[in-house]
Amino acid sequence: MATITEGFLDAPIFSVIGETAAEIGVRAFVIGGYVRDCFLYGKGSGDIDVVVEGSGIELAEAVARKLKVRKIAVYRNFGTAMFHRDGLEIEFVGARKESYDRTSRKPIVEDGTIEEDQLRRDFTINAMAFSLQKEDFGALVDPFGGIRDLAEGIIRTPLDPDVTYSDDPLRMLRAVRFACRLSTPDHPFNIVPESIESMKRNTGRLAILSKERIVEELSKILLTSRPSKGFFLLEETGLLKEILPDLVKLKGVETVDGKGHKENFSHTLQVVDNVAALEEAAIERGERAEKNVWLRWAALLHDIGKPASKRFAPGTGWTFHGHEVIGGRMVPEIFRKMKMPSNEKMKYVQKLVELHLRPIALVDGEVTDSAVRRLIFDAGDDLEDLMLLCNADITSKNPAKVERIKANFRLVSEKIVQVEAKDAIRNFKNPISGDYIMEVYGLSPCNTIGLIKERVKDAILDGEIPNEFEAADALMREVAAGYGLTPVK
C-alpha cells in the first residue's frame, strides 16, 4: 500500500527505532492504538507500541543505548521492554503467534511474523501498523482492513470472533469499551453483528478473568462520555448478567391495573450519562479537577435497591419506598463480590446511594434552614458530588416536569450556599465533647453522655442555638440538670 501516513512519524524517535532495527537485522513496526488514533484524531497518543520481528527487549536496549536513555524497564516474562523519551512512553514487544490453554487467558507464545502478530490482536482497528523500515518508512500495514473499519465505525475481530473471544474473554469487554470511547455523535462505532452473537455464546468464558480486570474495564467504560451505550451492549450480550446481576434486575416494566412504573435500567443509564455530562461541563468550567470514577459507580448503583423495594399499592400505584436504604446496604456486598476496595471509596459510594433522594425531597417541600443544615452535615465534603448526582437523577419524559424540578433544585442549591455562608456546618464538630461532659460532671463513660451530646448536636443543626461553644455549654448544663446531674466544677 502507498505511504499515506505523512506526518504521523515525524518525531525523531521513529527513525531511530527504524535505523537501529536495520542494524540488528530485524523489522520493526508501530502498531495498535497509536496508529488508530493517528487516523481517527490526526495524531497519535503518547503511548507507542512497537512490535519487532525478533526480540523486543534487544531492540529496546539498543535504541535506549543509542539515545542514552538510562532508565529502561525490562519484563523478561512477557518479552517486553519500555522506556520514556520526549514525553512519550515506548513499549517494545516481539511479534508473536499464540495459542491458548482453555483455562487461562495467558497465551502459549511463539515467535511470529508481523502478520501473525496482527492476526492475534483484538480488533482490526487495533491491528494496523506503520512500517519503520527505510524502504517503505511510514507505509500502512493493514491486512485486515482496519482503515476501512475505522472509517465506517466498525469493531470487528481479525479472526473468527468465537476464537478471539474464547481465547481471551477480556476482549469482549474491550470491544464494548472501544465502542463507547471511540464513538462521537457524528461518528458512532458499533460492534459487528457476528461479534455480538459470538459474545452471547461466550459469556461463560468471563469466568477465567479476574474480577479486578473486569472492574477495570467497567470503570473505563464508566469514564467515557456516554457510558450508557456500553452498558446497553453489556446487557444485550448477556455479559452484564454474569458481571453485575443486580443491575440487570432493574430491567423491565411491570404493569398492574394498566399502571406501569419507570423503566429503571434505562433510567439508571440515563443518570450515568447525565453525571458524565455534568462532570465534564464542570471540568470545562474549571470547577472540577478531574473525572471521579466513584461518582460514576454511585450513579450506576444509585437505584440498585429498587427491585427489592418495589410494591404496588392499589390507589397509589408503584412505590419504591426505602430503596435508597436498601441500596446503600447492598453496596458493600456488591463491592466485595467484585473484589473492589472496601475502604473509603466504598463508603463514599454507599453514602451517595443512601442520600441520593435527600436534596430532591427538599425540592418537593418547604426548604427550611434546618433541613438544609442536616443535609450539609450528613453529606459533609461529598455535598457537591451528591448535588451533582441528584441533578443528574432528574429524568422524566415530561420536559415541563423536568424544568420545574430543575428550577426548584436550583433554589435548594442557592439555599445551601446561603446556609453555608451563615453556619459552619460542613465539617461540623460538636463543640461539646464526651471528655468535656465527663470532666464537668465527674462521670465515667456512660449512655447519658451520648444523649447529652446528641441533644446539643440536634439543637445546633436545627438552628435552635448557634454553632458556638457558649451556647452549646449552656444547653449542655440545662440538659444535664434534667438528668439530675450537678457539675463538680
Residues forming the site for ligand ATP (CB under 6 A): 32-33, 45, 47, 49, 121-122, 126-127, 168, 170-171
Q: Where are the beta strands (DSSP E) in 328-466?
A: none
Output 33 or 230, the one with its CB closest to Mg ion. Answer: 33
Residue 122 near which of Mg ion, ligand ATP, none (CB within 5-8 Å, type-dependent): ligand ATP
Q: Which is nearer to ligand ATP, 50 or 299 (CB)?
A: 50
Looking at the Cβ atoms of 92 and 265, the one nearer to ligand ATP is: 92
State in angstroms the smallest separation of the CB of 34 from ligand ATP.
7
| Angle, helix 369-379 to helix 399-422, in steps of 10 degrees | 80
Q: Tell which residue, 97, 47, 95, 94, has the closest CA to residue 75.
A: 94
The rounded distance, in Å, linking the Cα atoms of 189 and 195 is 13
Q: Which is nearer to Mg ion, 79 or 332 (CB)?
A: 79
Question: Would you call 73 helix, strand, or coil by DSSP?
Answer: strand
CB of 61 to ligand ATP, least distance (A): 21
CB nearer ligand ATP, residue 223 or residue 387: 223
Q: Are 335 and 385 in contact (CB under 8 A)?
A: no
**Chain mean position to CA 339:** 15
CA atoms within 13 A on the CB side of 373: 21
Q: How far is CA 475 from CA 151, 463, 466, 482, in A?
A: 72, 13, 11, 11
Could you tell me which of 481, 429, 416, 484 has the C-alpha nearest to residue 457?
429
**Minimum distance of ligand ATP from residue 277's CB (angstroms):** 22
Q: Which does 149 bind (CB under 5 to 8 A by kind): ligand ATP, Mg ion, none?
A: none
Rank residues 220 and 296 by Cβ distance to Mg ion and give the closer one. Answer: 220
The 10 Å Cβ neighbour count of residue 374 is 17
Which of Mg ion, ligand ATP, none binds 382 (CB below 5-8 Å, type-dependent)? none
Q: Which residues in this chain contact Mg ion in the complex, by CB under 5 A?
A: 33, 47
Residue 42 CB, shortest distance to ligand ATP, in Å, is 15
Nearer to ligand ATP, 205 or 306 (CB): 205
Cβ 167 to ligand ATP shortest distance, Å = 8
Q: How far is the CB of 431 from Mg ion (least distance, A)?
A: 53
Give dist(CA 93, CA 167) in Å, integer. 20
Question: Of ligand ATP, Mg ion, none, which one sits near residue 168, judging by CB under 5 to 8 A according to partner kind?
Answer: ligand ATP
Cell 446481576 -> residue: 245
Q: Which among ligand ATP, Mg ion, none contacts residue 195 (Cβ within 5 to 8 A by kind)?
A: none
State in angstroms the smallest separation of the CB of 84 from ligand ATP.
15
Cβ-proximal residues to 414 (8 Å cutoff; 6+ apart), any chain: none
User: What distance in Å separates the CA atoms of residue 200 and residue 475, rounded to the nearest whole number?
Assistant: 65
Nearer to Mg ion, 47 or 384 (CB): 47
Query: Which of Mg ion, ligand ATP, none does residue 384 bind to, with CB < 5 to 8 Å depending on kind?
Result: none
Between residues 90 and 298, which has the closer beta carbon with respect to ligand ATP? Answer: 90
User: In whole angstroms, how close is the CB of 32 to ligand ATP at the nearest point?
Assistant: 3
Q: 31-48 as b/e, with b when 16 or more CB fall inside 10 Å? A: bbbbbbbbbbeeebeeeb
Helices 369-379 and 383-392 pack at an angle, to 10 degrees, of: 110
- The nearer residue to ligand ATP, 56 or 359, going by C-beta atoms, is 56
First to last CA, the chain: 93
Residue nearest to ligand ATP (CB): 33
Q: What is the DSSP letter of 302?
A: T
Binding partner of 126, given Mg ion, ligand ATP, none, CB within 5-8 angstroms per partner class = ligand ATP
| DSSP annotation string for 464-482 | SS-SSHHHHHHHHHHHHHH
Please choose which of Mg ion, ligand ATP, none residue 191 contacts, taking the beta carbon within 5 to 8 angstroms, the exact cut-off set by kind. Answer: none
| Closest distance of CB 43 from Mg ion, Å | 14
Q: CB of 350: closest distance to Mg ion in angstroms?
A: 33
